[in-house]
Structure 1
Amino acid sequence: MGETLSLLQPSFNASVRVETRYERLSGDAGFLLLRDVLDDTGIIDHLAGRLHDARCPERVVHSLPELLRAAVAMIAQGWGDQSDAQRLHNDPLLALSGSDRRGVGAAGKTLASQSTFSRLLDRLAQGANQEVIDAAPLELATRRRLGTGASPAPVMTVDVDGLPLAAHGEQPGSDYNGHVRERIHYPLIASCAETGDMLGGLLRPVIKKPAANIPWASHHR
């Protein structure tokens, strides 16, 4: 594990010691749990097999599944800004949990650059790719239910709720919301009441009436 180095002993409590090691360290152990969740759902393989990736295969350093895992992991762990990719470039757990590699070889990976993630988002925003992303939650929920062997339900309830998401700066479609007291996006999220599965989402401008655009849910019947 390497030599442990004592950095300091704070004066307010002599029982506390701050130590470090030469190894690369991470404070985001949740990345490892999230990787298991992503693999269990099959969402990354589902998307990677359907999304169009126009990059030249011979020049690809980070595969599409690796980029998708890392992008989801950063958002889930609270690193929502693309510029955070530079700060997390050498985080060992983020690179390890997103890597396609197995064994000790996965430890040598580093995170993709901020510009690479920007290009990823541009590709995901293309029309054909957006359709794949929009359809994925419903397809995976259907596949998961069939996999359990559950018999067809005569009636299932689709819950549709607004979800306030903090905006970074004055992003298009965002606005100040007096209820949550911050600038937000306010997308609609459709989920199955009986199973808890997410079925889809609709990004819409922040509006005064939360129930607006509810007819969109008929798409998930």
Structure 2
Amino acid sequence: MSLEYFLNITGPMLEGARTTVVLFFLAIVTSIPLGFVFTLMVKSAVKPLAWIANAYIYVMRGTPLLLQMLFFCFGLPVIPVIGEYLVMDRFAAACLAFTLNYAAYFAEIFRGGLLAIDKGQYEAAQVLGLGRWHTMTRIILPQMFRIALPAVSNEAITLVKDTALLYAVAVPELLHFAQTAVNRDFTIMPFVVAGVIYLLMTLVLTLFFKLLERKFKFE
């Protein structure tokens, strides 16, 4: 294998990696706040809100992400009466599926973080005369974030790898270009190059979250 061959196959795969990165950022930026909203709903004193949030989390975590992507890409348009208004670009549909799926996982992570905080923290805040808003924003949420950060890091790395599922709905991403090169050239080297690119992306994320952990004194 010549250097020229590696350069020829790496160019298109880097183009596909750009789609992977865009999907990752869109999904992570939208699913984290949405997940926190569902965490608040689960803990809400309004029972219907808690039931809806729990049902949502159960369904999204209990069914495969691939199935959810196929539903949004190909299922919504065939719903009677309203299906024609629900047609989306496949990349947009995939982004929606990723956001809704990962929001459910982040909701559980944040809920676990809240449960890990000692109830004495709330009592101490009351003794200090802090209201509910200040208690949450100044005491509870910072601690929840520190507790949840390692799990958030793991989910973010999993999200990078799950972007390969775009291949199943014919969105040209990194794995698509690798498979095309393998079929064309009858060599596994494009898969190796794709694996290296995925490893580099996850390495960047790992280093980023390590810095965050050091900042919040995990080490």
TM-score, L = length of structure 1: 0.27
More helix by share: 2
| Larger relative contact order, structure 1 or 2 (CA cutoff 8 Å, min sep 6) | 2
